[in-house]
Amino acid sequence: MNTFPDGFRALILGASGGIGQAFAQALQANPRCAQVIGLHRHSEPPLDFNDEASIGAAAAQLRHSGKFHLIINAAGLLHTADFGPEKKLTDLNFAQLEATFRVNTFGPALVLRHFCPLLDTQRSVLAVISAKVGSIGDNRLGGWYSYRASKAALNMLLKTAAIEVKRSNPQAVLVSLHPGTVNTALSQPFKGEQIGRQPLLAVREMLQTLNQLGPDDSGRFVAYNGEKLPW
Protein backbone atom coordinates (compact mmCIF):
# COMPACT_ATOMS: atom_id res chain seq x y z
CA MET A 1 0.00 0.00 0.00
CA ASN A 2 2.87 2.34 -0.81
CA THR A 3 0.72 4.86 -2.68
CA PHE A 4 -1.18 5.61 0.52
CA PRO A 5 0.38 7.91 3.12
CA ASP A 6 2.19 6.43 6.06
CA GLY A 7 -0.35 6.18 8.87
CA PHE A 8 -3.36 5.91 6.54
CA ARG A 9 -6.83 5.18 7.94
CA ALA A 10 -9.13 2.47 6.59
CA LEU A 11 -12.83 1.78 7.04
CA ILE A 12 -14.43 -1.59 6.23
CA LEU A 13 -18.21 -1.76 5.89
CA GLY A 14 -19.68 -5.24 6.18
CA ALA A 15 -16.71 -6.22 8.31
CA SER A 16 -18.38 -9.32 9.80
CA GLY A 17 -18.48 -11.20 6.48
CA GLY A 18 -15.76 -13.41 5.08
CA ILE A 19 -14.25 -10.82 2.74
CA GLY A 20 -14.79 -7.95 5.18
CA GLN A 21 -13.01 -9.80 7.99
CA ALA A 22 -10.11 -10.61 5.68
CA PHE A 23 -9.79 -6.96 4.62
CA ALA A 24 -9.67 -5.89 8.26
CA GLN A 25 -7.10 -8.57 9.11
CA ALA A 26 -4.84 -7.72 6.17
CA LEU A 27 -4.94 -3.99 6.84
CA GLN A 28 -4.34 -4.41 10.57
CA ALA A 29 -1.17 -6.32 9.68
CA ASN A 30 0.02 -3.55 7.35
CA PRO A 31 2.61 -1.38 9.14
CA ARG A 32 1.62 1.69 7.09
CA CYS A 33 -1.99 1.51 8.26
CA ALA A 34 -2.55 3.41 11.50
CA GLN A 35 -6.18 2.50 12.07
CA VAL A 36 -8.78 0.05 10.74
CA ILE A 37 -12.41 0.52 11.68
CA GLY A 38 -14.91 -2.21 10.86
CA LEU A 39 -18.65 -1.64 10.82
CA HIS A 40 -21.46 -4.20 10.69
CA ARG A 41 -24.89 -4.79 12.21
CA HIS A 42 -23.53 -5.35 15.70
CA SER A 43 -20.60 -2.91 15.72
CA GLU A 44 -20.47 0.41 17.51
CA PRO A 45 -21.75 2.39 15.74
CA PRO A 46 -23.94 -0.22 14.03
CA LEU A 47 -24.36 -0.34 10.25
CA ASP A 48 -27.41 -2.20 8.96
CA PHE A 49 -28.51 -1.91 5.35
CA ASN A 50 -32.04 -2.82 6.44
CA ASP A 51 -32.03 0.27 8.66
CA GLU A 52 -31.57 3.39 6.55
CA ALA A 53 -31.03 5.67 9.54
CA SER A 54 -28.08 3.60 10.76
CA ILE A 55 -26.04 4.44 7.65
CA GLY A 56 -26.21 8.19 8.07
CA ALA A 57 -25.80 7.92 11.83
CA ALA A 58 -22.64 5.82 11.50
CA ALA A 59 -21.11 8.29 9.04
CA ALA A 60 -22.00 11.21 11.29
CA GLN A 61 -20.35 9.59 14.28
CA LEU A 62 -17.16 8.80 12.36
CA ARG A 63 -16.95 12.25 10.80
CA HIS A 64 -15.54 13.64 14.03
CA SER A 65 -12.55 11.25 13.96
CA GLY A 66 -11.07 12.55 10.72
CA LYS A 67 -10.82 11.59 7.06
CA PHE A 68 -10.29 8.11 5.65
CA HIS A 69 -7.84 7.13 2.92
CA LEU A 70 -9.50 3.79 2.15
CA ILE A 71 -13.17 2.86 2.45
CA ILE A 72 -14.38 -0.57 1.31
CA ASN A 73 -17.96 -1.76 1.25
CA ALA A 74 -17.69 -5.55 1.48
CA ALA A 75 -21.33 -6.34 2.30
CA GLY A 76 -23.24 -8.48 -0.17
CA LEU A 77 -26.14 -10.92 -0.49
CA LEU A 78 -26.56 -13.81 -2.90
CA HIS A 79 -28.66 -16.29 -0.94
CA THR A 80 -30.28 -16.85 2.43
CA ALA A 81 -31.84 -19.80 4.23
CA ASP A 82 -35.05 -18.92 2.41
CA PHE A 83 -33.85 -18.42 -1.16
CA GLY A 84 -31.07 -19.02 -3.65
CA PRO A 85 -30.26 -17.36 -6.98
CA GLU A 86 -33.14 -17.54 -9.46
CA LYS A 87 -32.48 -19.86 -12.39
CA LYS A 88 -35.49 -18.86 -14.49
CA LEU A 89 -38.13 -16.16 -14.84
CA THR A 90 -40.73 -18.19 -12.97
CA ASP A 91 -38.49 -18.03 -9.88
CA LEU A 92 -38.77 -14.24 -9.65
CA ASN A 93 -40.61 -12.83 -6.66
CA PHE A 94 -40.85 -9.43 -5.04
CA ALA A 95 -39.54 -10.44 -1.60
CA GLN A 96 -36.28 -11.84 -2.96
CA LEU A 97 -35.74 -8.94 -5.32
CA GLU A 98 -36.29 -6.45 -2.51
CA ALA A 99 -34.03 -8.27 -0.04
CA THR A 100 -31.22 -8.57 -2.57
CA PHE A 101 -31.42 -4.94 -3.68
CA ARG A 102 -31.50 -3.70 -0.08
CA VAL A 103 -28.09 -5.20 0.65
CA ASN A 104 -26.40 -5.03 -2.76
CA THR A 105 -27.75 -1.72 -4.07
CA PHE A 106 -29.82 0.47 -1.74
CA GLY A 107 -27.45 0.20 1.23
CA PRO A 108 -24.31 0.87 -0.82
CA ALA A 109 -26.05 3.80 -2.54
CA LEU A 110 -26.54 5.43 0.85
CA VAL A 111 -22.95 4.57 1.72
CA LEU A 112 -21.94 6.67 -1.28
CA ARG A 113 -24.15 9.49 -0.07
CA HIS A 114 -22.96 9.55 3.51
CA PHE A 115 -19.36 8.28 3.37
CA CYS A 116 -17.92 10.02 0.29
CA PRO A 117 -17.56 13.25 2.32
CA LEU A 118 -15.28 11.30 4.69
CA LEU A 119 -12.68 10.65 1.95
CA ASP A 120 -9.29 12.31 2.30
CA THR A 121 -8.68 15.02 -0.31
CA GLN A 122 -5.03 14.13 -1.00
CA ARG A 123 -5.20 10.36 -1.55
CA SER A 124 -8.30 8.20 -1.08
CA VAL A 125 -10.05 5.19 -2.55
CA LEU A 126 -13.62 4.05 -2.02
CA ALA A 127 -14.36 0.58 -3.39
CA VAL A 128 -17.66 -1.25 -3.49
CA ILE A 129 -17.48 -5.01 -3.90
CA SER A 130 -19.42 -5.77 -7.05
CA ALA A 131 -19.40 -8.92 -9.19
CA LYS A 132 -18.52 -9.80 -12.76
CA VAL A 133 -21.97 -11.38 -13.14
CA GLY A 134 -23.29 -7.83 -12.78
CA SER A 135 -21.73 -6.97 -16.13
CA ILE A 136 -24.46 -6.61 -18.76
CA GLY A 137 -21.94 -6.91 -21.58
CA ASP A 138 -20.45 -10.11 -20.16
CA ASN A 139 -23.75 -11.87 -19.43
CA ARG A 140 -23.70 -15.06 -21.50
CA LEU A 141 -25.38 -17.60 -19.24
CA GLY A 142 -28.44 -15.79 -17.86
CA GLY A 143 -30.00 -16.71 -14.53
CA TRP A 144 -29.23 -15.19 -11.13
CA TYR A 145 -31.67 -12.39 -11.93
CA SER A 146 -31.81 -10.34 -8.76
CA TYR A 147 -28.11 -10.71 -7.95
CA ARG A 148 -27.02 -9.72 -11.47
CA ALA A 149 -29.44 -6.80 -11.59
CA SER A 150 -28.54 -5.53 -8.12
CA LYS A 151 -24.84 -5.47 -8.98
CA ALA A 152 -25.46 -3.84 -12.37
CA ALA A 153 -27.46 -1.13 -10.58
CA LEU A 154 -24.67 -0.77 -8.02
CA ASN A 155 -22.19 -0.23 -10.85
CA MET A 156 -24.31 2.56 -12.30
CA LEU A 157 -24.63 4.26 -8.92
CA LEU A 158 -20.86 4.06 -8.42
CA LYS A 159 -20.13 5.44 -11.88
CA THR A 160 -22.55 8.33 -11.39
CA ALA A 161 -21.21 9.13 -7.92
CA ALA A 162 -17.64 9.13 -9.24
CA ILE A 163 -18.53 11.87 -11.73
CA GLU A 164 -20.01 14.05 -9.01
CA VAL A 165 -17.33 13.44 -6.38
CA LYS A 166 -14.58 14.29 -8.87
CA ARG A 167 -15.82 17.88 -8.94
CA SER A 168 -15.28 18.43 -5.21
CA ASN A 169 -12.53 15.85 -4.53
CA PRO A 170 -10.54 15.32 -7.74
CA GLN A 171 -8.00 13.02 -6.08
CA ALA A 172 -10.62 10.55 -4.84
CA VAL A 173 -10.96 7.20 -6.61
CA LEU A 174 -14.35 5.45 -6.63
CA VAL A 175 -14.40 1.95 -8.13
CA SER A 176 -16.57 -1.13 -8.43
CA LEU A 177 -14.38 -4.11 -7.58
CA HIS A 178 -14.93 -7.71 -8.68
CA PRO A 179 -13.31 -10.02 -6.08
CA GLY A 180 -13.38 -13.20 -8.17
CA THR A 181 -14.54 -16.42 -6.57
CA VAL A 182 -13.64 -16.44 -2.89
CA ASN A 183 -14.19 -19.30 -0.46
CA THR A 184 -16.76 -17.63 1.80
CA ALA A 185 -20.28 -18.45 2.96
CA LEU A 186 -21.60 -16.51 -0.05
CA SER A 187 -19.89 -18.75 -2.63
CA GLN A 188 -19.61 -22.10 -0.84
CA PRO A 189 -22.97 -23.46 -2.11
CA PHE A 190 -21.71 -22.78 -5.65
CA LYS A 191 -18.39 -24.69 -5.55
CA GLY A 192 -16.72 -21.92 -3.59
CA GLU A 193 -14.80 -24.43 -1.50
CA GLN A 194 -13.46 -26.14 -4.64
CA ILE A 195 -12.71 -23.19 -6.94
CA GLY A 196 -12.57 -20.19 -4.62
CA ARG A 197 -9.40 -18.55 -3.30
CA GLN A 198 -8.91 -18.17 0.41
CA PRO A 199 -10.22 -14.79 1.63
CA LEU A 200 -6.82 -13.44 2.72
CA LEU A 201 -5.26 -14.26 -0.64
CA ALA A 202 -8.17 -12.64 -2.49
CA VAL A 203 -7.95 -9.54 -0.29
CA ARG A 204 -4.22 -9.17 -0.83
CA GLU A 205 -4.82 -9.26 -4.58
CA MET A 206 -7.58 -6.66 -4.31
CA LEU A 207 -5.49 -4.38 -2.10
CA GLN A 208 -2.63 -4.58 -4.58
CA THR A 209 -5.00 -3.48 -7.35
CA LEU A 210 -6.49 -0.67 -5.26
CA ASN A 211 -2.99 0.52 -4.42
CA GLN A 212 -2.27 0.96 -8.14
CA LEU A 213 -5.39 2.98 -8.98
CA GLY A 214 -5.24 6.72 -9.48
CA PRO A 215 -7.76 9.51 -10.08
CA ASP A 216 -8.00 8.64 -13.78
CA ASP A 217 -9.39 5.23 -12.75
CA SER A 218 -12.29 6.68 -10.79
CA GLY A 219 -15.67 5.41 -11.98
CA ARG A 220 -14.30 2.16 -13.39
CA PHE A 221 -15.31 -1.48 -12.96
CA VAL A 222 -12.18 -3.50 -12.26
CA ALA A 223 -11.34 -7.06 -11.27
CA TYR A 224 -9.13 -8.15 -8.38
CA ASN A 225 -6.21 -8.51 -10.81
CA GLY A 226 -6.60 -5.03 -12.28
CA GLU A 227 -8.46 -6.11 -15.42
CA LYS A 228 -10.99 -3.53 -16.62
CA LEU A 229 -14.40 -5.15 -16.94
CA PRO A 230 -17.22 -4.28 -19.38
CA TRP A 231 -20.33 -2.64 -17.96
Q: Kindly list the structural domains of the chain, giving each domain's residue range(s) and its CATH number in brackets, ordered by start.
A: 8-223 (3.40.50.720)
Alpha helices in the chain (DSSP H): 18-28, 52-63, 94-101, 107-115, 145-168, 192-195, 199-212
pTM: 0.94
Q: For position 192, what pLDDT does the model report? A: 46
Q: Phi/psi zone of residue 123: left (φ > 0), alpha (ψ -120 to 50 degrees), beta? A: beta
pLDDT given for residue 150 in this prediction: 98
pLDDT at 183: 83
Q: How many CB atoms lie within 10 A of CB 54?
A: 18
Query: Is the distance from CB of 218 to CB of 172 less than 8 angstroms?
Result: yes
Q: What is the pLDDT along the chain (231 residues), one digit of tens a residue?
A: 999 999 999 999 999 999 999 999 999 999 999 999 999 999 999 999 999 999 999 999 999 999 999 999 999 999 888 899 999 999 999 999 999 999 999 999 999 999 999 999 999 999 999 999 999 999 999 999 999 999 999 999 999 999 999 999 999 999 999 999 888 656 556 554 555 688 899 999 999 999 999 999 999 999 999 999 999
